[in-house]
Amino acid sequence: MEGKQRGLLLVLSAPSGGGKGTVMKELLAQEENLRLSVSATTRAPRPGEVHGEQYYFVSREEFEDMIAGGRMLEHAQYVGNYYGTPRAPVEKWLTEGRDVVLEIEVQGGKQIKSLCPDCVSVFILPPSMEVLEKRLRGRGTEEDALVRKRLETARGEIPHAAEYDYIVYNDRLEDAVEDIQAILRAEKRKYSRNRDFTERMNAHA
């Protein structure tokens, strides 16, 4: 196939505790053409988190400077902290033909869908609210009040699944990863993403 197809921009969202981080880790291990856009945040690192790997941990002032300078593709406030996607690496990877996944909250997801209408959006749902609460409490990294706040936020986020292109249920990790891989394969074969190639074929027929 002549020419390099532009990469796919995958928007991946889930309620807090929905398991998107675990799904992402496995997906990245299996898809060598996939790149994870590392978000910036003003929240404090959790135990074991490293600056530049899970997130870029920045001050509120630094984050607001990035917004003002047009260096954020999207941003949102969530549970009292800023989260956002630095623009430059995403645009570079897509141009190179790499697929890029944005692991973001629903506010950011809405911004990306508005800015990049050809993105592919997936909302990951837990099997039940009971499982979601168990996962949140199982982290053991947050006080009960914050866990309750995250559950309340999750209840408000889940209805936004209707705004996404696809729903993936994260009951078994392997099934969730396979579902996303199938979505990526199908999206790459859409006529709209292959129009230039097919038109060149017709021109030489």
Tens-binned pLDDT, residue by residue, of the chain (205 aa): 455 788 999 999 998 778 888 899 999 999 999 999 999 999 999 999 999 988 999 999 999 999 999 999 989 888 899 999 999 899 999 999 999 999 888 888 888 998 899 999 999 998 888 888 887 777 666 688 888 888 888 888 999 999 999 999 999 999 999 999 999 999 999 988 888 878 888 777 6
Res 16: pLDDT:
76
Residue 169's φ and ψ, nearest 5 degrees, are -90, 125
Edge-first strand listing for the sheet containing 34-36: 34-36, 99-103, 9-13, 120-125, 166-169
Tokens of 48: 């074991």
Res 1: pLDDT:
47
H or E element that contains 86? strand 81-86
Res 3: pLDDT:
54
The domains of the chain, with CATH numbers, are: 9-37+99-203 (3.40.50.300)
Residue 144's φ and ψ, nearest 5 degrees, are -55, -40
Res 194: pLDDT:
87
Of 161, 167, 123, 86, give the one whose Cα is nearest residue 11.
123
Calpha distance 107→160 (Å, rounded): 9
List the end-to-end C-alpha distance of the chain, in Å, as a whole number: 15
Calpha distance 36→99 (Å, rounded): 9
Amino acid at 58: V
Amino acid at 166: Y
How do beta strands 81-86 and 166-169 pair? unpaired
Edge-first strand listing for the sheet containing 72-78: 55-57, 39-41, 81-86, 72-78
Largest CA distance in the chain: 67
Tokens of 36: 């994870």
Res 132: pLDDT:
81
Res 141: pLDDT:
67
pTM for the structure as a whole: 0.81
Res 147: pLDDT:
81
Angle (nearest 5°) at CA 105 between 99 and 107: 110
Residues in Cβ contact with 46 at an 8 Å cutoff, skipping those fewer than 6 apart? 141
